[in-house]
A and B are shown apart, each in its own frame.
Chain A
């Protein structure tokens, strides 16, 4: 094993999940100008739903993944309905606090039902490392990275070619113009929150076999958020690069500076990026409509 290549590969593996969480944040932010602080709980909900499907209802993992996508999408729609829509006329800060509150409620509701006892689900792919060149990686991690890449590709196609995807992009740019096209803006919001939340849920069910399931899984919101900001908060490629950057920097910082600073390093990067490039690495200058 060579240290630096291994740190980078492991960092990319971790970062691909941060990226998934970040994309969920970005989609919702682009559409509604709101940072969804309940996104971490989508991850938790996804993991618990996967656990329910697999260990309680004895469904195959792949079926569970599909149900998790649907279920966490529903959670997103509920958050939109209770935290966003009734507060349309409130300042963004209020709405963000509301998403935070909904997240806390979800977390505590889960804790009430299943306590703090962690659960797990067994994954489909092997957790035994294989050696590629000078680095070790498990089929399980490779599968996660592949899934994230696939999802990103599907998302790109969705936004590029599907009617709904185009409508979402249009709404993100001008809600008024979108509604003049006959697009139901509240409907688009609801679907965007559903999509963003489904990505969080997917992250949850993907990571659950590796890290177990408890109510604190939502903490992955933090690196996801940093990833989104580093990537400019308005771009999917930005979120991906941001996620991978955070994963890799955590690893390099953790080893070459100190593990105490591991989680601080991404913040330092964040602040630096914001000072040099206020709109992030991939951000576009604010220009919604001409």
Chain B
């Protein structure tokens, strides 16, 4: 997937000022940045929840910058949104079924739901419960499992660790890696840069609506500015640095 010069507005507010990056197939790309940098807006622009005013978004050779969300999902891009946006009054099982809304292979859907329960055994226990009654971590699991039900080629996650206990966060990240290993590309938005970079292949840093740095994980981890701003460390010894844009 490839973004090129994407500009997105909220009314008159320009939230993205020409964002360009690529997510190579089968990799985990981390999108880092502080509050209000435009991370969520980037994901929303890809998934069609907000429409980019300028620039192009290409997925597997298809231009999708003007596509509504239901078409983007159909093409194989699924978003686990910030705040999860579960259907709180629907059961866990119904949430999962809705994830497969565009699919018509009911036998396969059943099998995928089974797979989700194997991956998150707690969800099997809770499957008849309203999603809104679950704990934060369990809800995040439902959100991820629900997104996977569309059998995406690209899974986008918007701050999946937000508000969760460290143990749960580790479990979630472990899951994300497994998903990648199953062949799904991942675009991961995180403020928790340490965690994100621990599983990512590439990283981009957004600041006020622009990509200001990019590189592979090793480069980003060793960049003093990244360390200072996002990893909570003092600048370390010189090392190959990330490309400053």
A and B in direct contact, judged by CB atoms within 8 A? yes
Binding site for B on A (CB under 8 A): 163, 166-167, 169-170, 173-174, 176-185, 284, 287-290
- B89–A173 contact, CB under 8 A? yes
Task: Answer whether residue B90 sits at the interface, using C-beta atoms and an 8 A cutoff.
Answer: yes
A89 to chain B, nearest CB (A): 11
Kindly list chain B residues whose C-beta atoms are within 8 Å of the C-beta of A163.
97, 101
Partner-contacting stretch, out of B71-79, B117-125, B164-172, B225-233? B71-79
Partner-contacting stretch, out of B51-59, B80-88, B186-194, B200-208? B80-88
- A170–B90 contact, CB under 8 A? yes
Q: Given A163-B101, A170-B98, A290-B131, is A179 in contact with B88 using a C-beta cutoff of 8 Å?
A: no
Select B81's contact among A177, A284, A290, beta carbons within 8 Å.
A177
Closest 6 CB pairs of A and B: A177-B85, A182-B102, A179-B69, A182-B73, A181-B101, A182-B70
- A169–B90 contact, CB under 8 A? yes
Kindly list chain A residues whose C-beta atoms are within 8 Å of the C-beta of B81.
176-177, 180
Task: Answer whether residue B150 sits at the interface, using C-beta atoms and an 8 A cutoff.
Answer: yes
Task: Answer whether residue B139 sits at the interface, using C-beta atoms and an 8 A cutoff.
Answer: yes
Kindly list chain A residues whose C-beta atoms are within 8 Å of the C-beta of B48.
179
Kindly list chain B residues whose C-beta atoms are within 8 Å of the C-beta of A185.
70
Q: Given A176-B81, A290-B131, A290-B139, is A183 in contact with B101 using a C-beta cutoff of 8 Å?
A: yes
Q: Given A170-B90, A176-B49, A290-B131, is A181 in contact with B85 using a C-beta cutoff of 8 Å?
A: no
- B90–A179 contact, CB under 8 A? no
Kindly list chain B residues whose C-beta atoms are within 8 Å of the C-beta of A179.
48-49, 68-70
Q: Given A166-B94, A176-B81, is A182 in contact with B86 using a C-beta cutoff of 8 Å?
A: no
A142 to chain B, nearest CB (A): 34
Select B87's contact among A170, A184, A284, beta carbons within 8 Å.
A170
Select A180's contact among B79, B88, B89, B90, beta carbons within 8 Å.
B79
Kindly list chain B residues whose C-beta atoms are within 8 Å of the C-beta of A182.
69-70, 73-74, 101-102, 150
Question: What is the chain A residue whose CB lies nearest that of B44?
Answer: A176
A240 to chain B, nearest CB (A): 19
27 inter-chain pairs at a CB distance below 8 angstroms, sorted by A residue, are A163-B101, A166-B94, A166-B98, A167-B101, A169-B87, A169-B89, A169-B90, A173-B89, A174-B85, A176-B49, A176-B85, A177-B81, A181-B73, A181-B146, A181-B150, A182-B69, A182-B73, A182-B101, A182-B102, A287-B88, A287-B132, A289-B83, A289-B87, A289-B88, A290-B84, A290-B132, A290-B139
Kindly list chain A residues whose C-beta atoms are within 8 Å of the C-beta of B160.
none
A290 to B162, CA, bound (A): 13
For the A-B complex with A179-B70, A180-B73, A180-B85 known, give 5 more contacts whose Cβ atoms are closer than 8 Å.
A179-B49, A182-B70, A182-B150, A289-B83, A290-B88
A163 to B109, CA, bound (A): 13
Kindly list chain A residues whose C-beta atoms are within 8 Å of the C-beta of B73.
180-182
Residue among B87, B139, B146 facing the most chain A CB atoms (10 A cut-off): B87
A185 to B84, CA, bound (A): 18
B78-116 with Cβ < 8 A to chain A: 78-79, 81, 83-90, 94, 97-99, 101-102
A284 to B102, CA, bound (A): 30
- A288–B70 contact, CB under 8 A? no
A180 to B70, CA, bound (A): 6
Task: Answer whether residue B214 sits at the interface, using C-beta atoms and an 8 A cutoff.
Answer: no
Kindly list chain A residues whose C-beta atoms are within 8 Å of the C-beta of B84.
289-290
- B85–A289 contact, CB under 8 A? yes
Kindly list chain B residues whose C-beta atoms are within 8 Å of the C-beta of A166.
90, 94, 97-98
B130-176 with Cβ < 8 A to chain A: 131-132, 139, 146-147, 150
Kindly list chain A residues whose C-beta atoms are within 8 Å of the C-beta of B146.
181
- B70–A173 contact, CB under 8 A? no
Question: What is the chain B residue whose CB lies nearest that of A284?
Answer: B89
Kindly list chain A residues whose C-beta atoms are within 8 Å of the C-beta of B132.
287, 290
Task: Answer whether residue B47 sits at the interface, using C-beta atoms and an 8 A cutoff.
Answer: yes
Question: What is the chain B residue whose CB lies nearest that of A169?
Answer: B90
Kindly list chain A residues whose C-beta atoms are within 8 Å of the C-beta of B79.
180
B126 to chain A, nearest CB (A): 14
Select A288's contact among B68, B88, B97, beta carbons within 8 Å.
B88
Question: What is the chain B residue whose CB lies nearest that of A187?
Answer: B70
A173 to B95, CA, bound (A): 12
A169 to B88, CA, bound (A): 10
B78 to chain A, nearest CB (A): 7
